[in-house]
Amino acid sequence: MQIESISSALPNLLRPAAAEKKTGVEFENVFSDFIGEVNKSQLDANQLTEDFLGGNGVELHEVMIAGEKAKTSFDLLMEIRNKAIDMYKELSRMSA
């Protein structure tokens, strides 16, 4: 199993804005794409666990790495959601 860097899981948020031209449609899809990636990592971890339990030649460390990757990406998604909610509440207070 190849270990990927964490930046590969992020939805291209690390690129400078001047490096490429962004349109409203692309920005709109960033979060839905990231949710899809988190879901895929959860499903991949689940499949590896099932393969390990079924004796299909999957090593324990591969299962653990996939599980931690899925957990970390889910935690990141929850933090992004929490910050977005906090930002919305703050903007609501400012406009009131």
Calpha distance 41→35 (Å, rounded): 10
- Per the CB < 8 A criterion, the answer to whether 29 and 11 are in contact is no
pLDDT computed for residue 25 by the predictor: 62
Tokens representing residue 93 in the block: 């207070």
Segment-wise mean pLDDT, segments of 10 residues, the chain, 96 residues: 60 54 67 93 96 93 96 96 94 86
Tokens representing residue 92 in the block: 């609501």
pLDDT computed for residue 76 by the predictor: 96
Calpha distance 75→80 (Å, rounded): 9
Residue 48 has, within 13 A of its CA and on its CB side, a CA count of 20
pLDDT computed for residue 17 by the predictor: 54
Calpha distance 9→41 (Å, rounded): 9
Rg (the chain; Cα; Å):
17
